[in-house]
């Protein structure tokens, strides 16, 4: 009892922004589309642990201290788990898959999936990536051959990302990438409708842990079918479509695998895609390691979901930044033309080593991480030791923070990525050249627990992003081909909106995700 009292006293003593409402706390300021400025304030102005006010006086912690982050995502990853409502949401959306599972169930799935994301498989997939992006180049070329045109680059990075995870992940083509019009594909359309629809039923999502315990499955399905809310019906339609299509693709893959090598080679992806490799690995795995078919199908829907907006929105952001920094764009083009990376004649290793291309990707992922609403909850009382003590509101020094069971913790991805005491005074500026010389010692010494480049963007530990190499290769191939052939300029004012994956709109209140840039053919 007194330990708990102590913990609450320390929490109250941690600096944080004021809250306007006891009922709602800061939640509506942070987890909202227009929350970017507030998120920045939290990340930058109160120190490495920040107290936010949750609804009804609950306390929430925003943590960007490296040592505390290490405790959360590595040392005590089995204590700091996803909120129950998040796990249930993922289970309902995709089925029993990586992001909806914990502990041993997660470990078993991850063990089988990890190898298919290895560098070796990326090397096999590189020519397939180039082939898809060459088609993208042709479509854009057809549009701008006659002269400069405004193009919504988000639409094109989105279609490319879907097609790449389709071919590279599922061995299935979503979009031939030939016509100017949206390719009508039920699966792709369903996927696009998912995030906005989910944002619209956020309050319902919070009571999901109770809803899923109500009555038998058939009853819950019936209740969902007749639930009088358009957003719930949209989500239901999305889930039904994804699950139906994933099952069909899976059955086709399995049949091809059974009929032998020739049938596999005739398929999209020629058996080199992630699911084909996974199917073979699963067939060969021992009974203890084998995944049931339902889990394999669930991973397919998850992969498509996790791979698309994350990478395509980041790519669109990179193109925006290159348009804003024309000198960097020119230097990058020079590097790409000299190396021939835009023609597909470079190997995976050569492409990965191009210094400015690499720097541009890393710097964008540092300053503009696309997924920032990552939350963990300790399943029992715990303590977060800090790298540096912080000074409490009453002037006392806090060296570690006791966190009571159930405290919501927001992973301070942005706060860690732009921490001035590690990255220097210019930490907030987008400066790709910082990666061309050794990073500040403080960054290397801080032991930031991120899986990629001292950044928290792809998280770290056992639940780090499994697809970060896939994503990195995708960004590099798209940039190599597109920047070698086209020049990008910014004309309109772009606003970035907070969501599960941040997205751009043209004006503050514009509803349609888009990023129009002026594009023309590059002539040397
Ligand atoms: C810029 C691109 C991307 C970013 C910033 C990103 C970020 C992340 C983050 C932060 C997580 C952890 C989420 C959490 O535990 O709360 C995650 C997990 C995951 N990502 Fe990514 N991701 C990207 C691209 C991709 C791609 C291309 C794929 C697939 C090819 C992918 C597949 C996954 C999967 C399957 C998980 C769940 C891993 C697990 O729970 O074990 N991601 N990603």
Q: pLDDT, tens digit, for every residue of 162-174?
A: 999 999 998 888 8
Q: Counting beta carbons within 10 angstroms of the beta carbon of residue 333, is it exposed (0 to 12), middle (13 to 18) or buried (19 or more)?
A: buried
The per-residue pLDDT for range 49-107, each reduced to its tens digit, is 999 998 888 889 999 999 999 999 999 999 999 999 899 989 988 999 999 999 999 99
| Residue whose CA is at the smallest distance from ligand 1 atom 3 | 310
Instruction: Give distance in angstroms: CA of 302 to centre of ligand 1.
Output: 10
Residue 497's domain is classified under what CATH number? 1.10.630.10
Distance 504 CA to ligand 1 centre (A): 20
Q: Which residues line ligand 1 (CB under 6 A)?
A: 98-99, 110, 165, 169, 302-303, 306-307, 310-311, 314, 370-371, 374, 457-459, 463, 465-467, 470-471
Using CA atoms, how far apart are residues 313 and 161, in angstroms rounded to an integer?
10
Whether residue 358 lies inside any domain: the answer is: no
305 plus 164 within the same structural domain: yes
Whether residues 44 and 159 fall in one domain: no
Please state the rounded mean pLDDT for residues 234-238: 86
448 shares its domain with 473 = no
Q: Which residue owns the Cα nearest ligand 1 atom 30?
A: 467
Please tell me whether residues 218 and 135 are part of one structural domain. Answer: yes
What is the domain extent for residue 221?
111-325+463-521
**Residue 77 or residue 210, greater confidence:** 77
Give the pLDDT confidence score for residue 524 in this predicted structure: 78
- Taking the CA of residue 109 as reference, the ligand 1 atom at the shortest distance is 41
Q: Are residues 21 and 131 in the same domain?
A: no
Q: Do residues 56 and 139 share a domain?
A: no
Examine the domain organization and report whether 468 and 445 are in the same domain.
Answer: no
Q: Best substitution site from 73, 246, 467, 500 to test ligand 1's pocket, by max atoms within 8 Å of Cβ?
A: 467
> What number is the ipTM of this complex?
0.99
Say how many Å lie between the CA of residue 464 and the centre of ligand 1: 7
Q: What is the pLDDT of residues 127-155, one digit of tens each?
A: 999 999 999 999 999 999 999 999 999 98
Instruction: Find, among 351, 330, 361, 482, the residue nearest to 432 by Cα.
Output: 361
Query: What share of the chain has pLDDT > 90, as a percent?
Result: 65
What does the DSSP assignment read for 247-259?
A: HHHHHHHHHHHHH
Quick one: 224 and 310 in the same domain? yes
For residue 430, tell me if it sits in a domain. no
Closest protein CA for atom 19 of ligand 1 = 465
- Position 346 in a domain: no
CA 466–ligand 1 middle distance (angstroms) = 6
Q: How many domains does the chain have?
A: 2
At residue 205, the 3 state secondary structure works out as helix
Does residue 364 sit within a domain? no
Pair (52, 145) in one structural domain: no
Considering the domain architecture, whether residues 67 and 141 belong to the same structural domain is answered as: no
Sheet holding 516-521, edge to edge: 149-152, 516-521, 486-489
Express each pLDDT in 357-372 by its tens digit.
999 999 999 999 999 9
Tell me the CA–centroid distance for residue 306 and ligand 1, in Å. 6
């Amino acid at each position: 009892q007194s330990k708990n009292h102590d913990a609450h006293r320390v929490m109250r003593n941690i600096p944080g922004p004021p809250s306007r409402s006891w009922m709602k706390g800061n939640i509506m300021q942070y987890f909202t589309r227009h929350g970017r400025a507030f998120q920045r304030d939290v990340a930058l102005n109160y120190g490495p642990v920040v107290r936010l006010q949750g609804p009804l006086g609950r306390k929430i912690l925003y943590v960007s201290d490296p040592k505390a982050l290490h405790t959360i995502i590595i040392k005590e990853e089995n204590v700091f788990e996803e909120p129950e409502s998040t796990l249930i949401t993922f289970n309902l959306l995709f089925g029993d898959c990586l992001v909806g599972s914990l502990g041993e169930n997660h470990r078993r799935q991850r063990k089988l999936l990890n190898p298919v994301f290895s560098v070796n498989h990326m090397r096999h997939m590189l020519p397939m990536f180039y082939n898809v992006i060459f088609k993208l180049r042709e479509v854009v070329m057809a549009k701008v051959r006659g002269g400069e045109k405004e193009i919504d680059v988000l639409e094109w990075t989105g279609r490319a990302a879907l097609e790449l995870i389709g071919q590279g992940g599922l061995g299935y083509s979503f979009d031939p990438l030939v016509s100017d019009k949206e390719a009508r594909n039920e699966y792709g359309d369903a996927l696009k409708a998912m995030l906005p629809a989910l944002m619209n039923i956020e309050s319902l999502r919070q009571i999901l842990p109770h809803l899923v315990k109500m009555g038998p499955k058939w009853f819950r399905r019936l209740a969902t079918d007749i639930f009088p809310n358009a957003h719930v019906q949209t989500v239901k339609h999305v889930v039904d479509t994804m699950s139906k299509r994933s099952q069909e693709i899976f059955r086709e893959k399995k049949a091809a695998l059974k009929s032998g090598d020739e049938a596999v080679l005739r398929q999209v992806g020629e058996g080199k895609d992630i699911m084909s490799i996974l199917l073979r690995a699963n067939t060969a795995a021992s009974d203890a390691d084998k995944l049931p078919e339902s889990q394999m199908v669930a991973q397919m829907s998850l992969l498509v979901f996790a791979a698309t907006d994350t990478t395509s929105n980041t790519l669109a952001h990179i193109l925006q930044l290159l348009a804003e920094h024309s000198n960097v764009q020119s230097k990058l083009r020079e590097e790409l033309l000299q190396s021939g990376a835009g023609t597909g004649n470079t190997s995976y290793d050569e492409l990965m080593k191009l210094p400015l291309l690499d720097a541009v990707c890393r710097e964008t992922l540092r300053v503009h991480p696309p997924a920032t609403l990552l939350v963990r909850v300790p399943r029992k009382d715990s303590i977060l030791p800090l790298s540096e003590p912080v000074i409490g509101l009453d002037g006392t020094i806090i060296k570690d923070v006791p966190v009571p069971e159930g405290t919501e913790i927001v992973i301070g991805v942005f706060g860690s990525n732009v921490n001035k005491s590690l990255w220097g005074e210019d930490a907030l500026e987008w400066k790709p050249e910082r990666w061309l010389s050794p990073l500040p010692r403080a960054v290397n010494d801080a032991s930031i627990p991120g899986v990629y480049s001292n950044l928290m963007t792809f998280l770290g530990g056992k639940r780090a992003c499994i697809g970060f190499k896939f994503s990195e290769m995708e960004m590099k191939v798209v940039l190599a081909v597109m920047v070698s052939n086209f020049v990008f300029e910014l004309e309109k004012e772009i606003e970035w909106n907070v969501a599960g994956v941040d997205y751009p709109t043209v004006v503050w209140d514009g509803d349609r995700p888009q990023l129009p840039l002026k594009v023309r053919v590059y002539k040397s």
